Amino acid sequence: MNAILEARDVSFSYPGSEHEALRGLNMHLPTGKKTAICGHNGSGKSTLFLQAVGIHKPERGAVLWNDSPIAYRPKDLKALRQHIGLVFQDPEHQLILTTPYEDISYGLRNAGMQEDDIRKRTLSMLETLNLTPLADTPIHHLSLGQKKRVALAGVMALEPELLLLDEPTAYLDRISEQKLIEALDRIHANGVTVVMATHDMNLAYAWADWMLVMDRGQCVLEGTPAEVFERKDQLLTLGLELPLLLEVWQSLPQYLQNGDAPPRSLQEFKQLMHQLQPSVSASAGHAR
Ligand SMILES: Nc1ncnc2c1ncn2[C@@H]1O[C@H](COP(=O)(O)OP(=O)(O)O)[C@@H](O)[C@H]1O
Ligand SMILES: [Mg+2]
């Protein structure tokens, strides 16, 4: 499996801290997939993202971008950050200017793009993230969900190959979360590798093609969501819960599961139950 980004034996502690935030971390992000990085608070997810864009440098080990160790000279980092976009958890850390339109175009202007192209790209990003009606609204009038989408638009406008999102759905209501996920899926469909750090296991289960589980600065589990969630006991020991839908599914009697793979969305669950209905009512009728 091709890795767009890899950590090899990466150790790192924050200045002034005795404690290692990453402890010989080995992990890779598969090219082209939607990956969820899970793990409880303090397991090192955000630190890993800061390593990925070279904001921090490993004390030991190396971070590799497409199989080459990243270099830390300013011009190399500038080039790296054209390939990797990081959306911080708190949009306030990312939004600089007064309106979505100005904020998104600022990054493009910084990258040296022509005014005509800046305008086109900004308008198209606003459209992709359903922000067109808000283009000229002062940012401090926007909801958190809207701000998160503006921050994402600003990063996406630079067309990274790898998009890292730190807790993108934290504190969002369900509708804002859905909008954000739809936007991410459109971005992924355009060929971008999309990675999110989250401790929402329901979201990871429904959304990801690939999962990494972190604990105390190491990656302790990886695989497809189906593979990861088979390790129920290990997840519980790590303080992580099972997705609600999977728990409900596993609690069903065998004849209702009907040998099907567990559904990953409520929609799939309803479909599976719907398909069963005739035979269930037939057997119920038979019993009478
Ligand atoms: N700025 C910082 N200064 C010192 N320690 C930090 C800082 N940020 C994170 N840490 C520590 O690094 C470890 C990993 O944290 P973090 O990467 O933020 O985890 P996560 O994103 O999974 O919640 C934790 O022990 C945390 O306390
Ligand atoms: Mg974090």
Ligand 1 mean position, distance from CA 29 (Å): 21
Residue 119, domain extent: 3-235
Residue 262 in domain: no
Which residue, judged by its Cα, is nearest atom 24 of ligand 1?
42
Q: Bridge-partner residues for 34, per DSSP?
A: 194
Q: What is the CATH number of the domain that holds 146?
A: 3.40.50.300
CB-neighbour burial class of residue 164 (10 A; exposed 0-12, middle 13-18, buried 19+): buried
111 found inside a domain: yes
44 lines ligand 1 (CB under 6 A): yes
For residue 49 the two structure tokens come to 């993202």
Q: At what angle do helices 144-156 and 100-110 cross, to 10 degrees?
A: 20
The answer to whether residue 247 sits within a structural domain is no
What is the model's pTM? 0.91
Q: Is 46's C-beta closer than 6 angstroms to any atom of ligand 1?
A: yes
Helix segments in 27-143, DSSP class H: 45-52, 74-83, 100-110, 115-128
Q: Kindly give, in sequence order, each residue whose CB lies less than 8 Å from that of residue 287, ignoring residues fewer than 6 positions away.
A: none
Token pair in block for residue 165: 């999102």
* Ligand 1 centre distance from Cα of residue 152 (Å): 23
75 occurs within a structural domain: yes
Question: What separation in Å is there between the alpha carbon of 21 and the centre of ligand 1?
Answer: 6
Domain count across the chain: 1
For residue 43 and ligand 1, the question of a CB distance below 6 A is answered with yes
Q: Measure the CA–CA gap between 60 and 134, rounded to whole angstroms.
A: 45
Beta strands in the chain (DSSP E): 3-12, 22-30, 34-38, 60-65, 68-69, 84-87, 162-166, 193-197, 210-215, 218-223
Predicted confidence pLDDT, tens digits, the chain (288 residues): 799 999 999 999 999 999 999 999 999 999 999 999 999 999 999 999 999 999 999 999 999 999 999 999 999 999 999 999 999 998 888 887 789 999 999 989 988 889 999 999 999 999 888 899 999 999 999 998 899 999 999 998 988 999 999 999 988 888 888 988 998 998 999 999 999 999 899 999 999 999 999 999 999 999 999 999 999 999 999 999 999 999 999 999 998 898 889 999 999 999 998 887 665 555 554 544
Does 106 fall in a domain?
A: yes
In a domain, residue 277? The reply is no
Residue 161 CB coordination number (10 Å)? 17
Considering the domain boundaries, does residue 182 fall inside one?
Answer: yes
The reply to whether ligand 1 has any atom less than 6 angstroms from the CB of 14 is yes
212 CB within 6 A, ligand 1? no
Give domain status of residue 69, yes or no.
yes
User: Cα(172)–Cα(120) distance, rounded to whole angstroms?
Assistant: 29
Site of tokens 């991410």: 184
Give the Å distances, CA to CA, from 219 to 42, 69, 101, 209: 13, 19, 39, 17
